[in-house]
Amino acid sequence: MNETILNFLRKQTAASISCVNELNEPYSFSCFFVFNSQENLLYFKSNPSAYHSQILLQNPKVSGTILPDKLNKLAVKGIQFSGVVLAEGNPLTKQAAQSYHARFPLAIAIPGIVSTIQLNQVKMTVHLPGIFKKHVWQREEKTNIQFV
């Protein structure tokens, strides 16, 4: 993944994620996340009874956006991504809870499960006065993914 994208993701904490229910209706939710730069994964925590958690059991495909934690109206930066939520038993999910709670220790007290999104495509836009760049990354291999 491009170093510009990696650095941006490491510094941010909140994402807006969209999924699609069984009636093909989109649904979005916001969450805190932790980025695993070795595997290009996002970890987020939510209640298993939340509506989006129920949707993700049926359809694990997601897309989302990540903006800087501190917005600057003169410097537009952000990420659009797509990926899949991995099943709890998938080997890539082993470090999810530990990594999430290391970054957000108070979240240990909040009931819920930490889920893992395998990023498959990322587009970062950087629009500064006089500068406009797009950085694109796509996962090369589509592994045998165990979905939620």
pLDDT digits (tens, 9 = 90+) for 62-87: 999 999 999 888 888 999 999 999 99
**pTM, to two decimals:** 0.91
Q: Which domain holds residue 8?
A: 3-138
Residue-wise pLDDT tens digits, 125-141? 998 888 899 999 999 86
The CATH number assigned to the domain holding 21 equals: 2.30.110.10
Residue 73 has a pLDDT of: 82
pLDDT-flagged residues of the chain (< 50): 144, 147-148
- Whether the CB-CB separation of 134 and 123 falls below 8 Å is answered with yes
CA 84 to mean position of chain CA atoms:
9
Q: Per the domain annotation, does 147 fall within a domain?
A: no
Q: Establish if 97 belongs to a structural domain.
A: yes
From residue 125, give the alpha-carbon distance in Å to each of 5, 77, 122, 128, 140.
Answer: 9, 5, 10, 10, 21
pLDDT of residue 142: 58
d(CA 15, CA 34) in angstroms, rounded, equals: 10
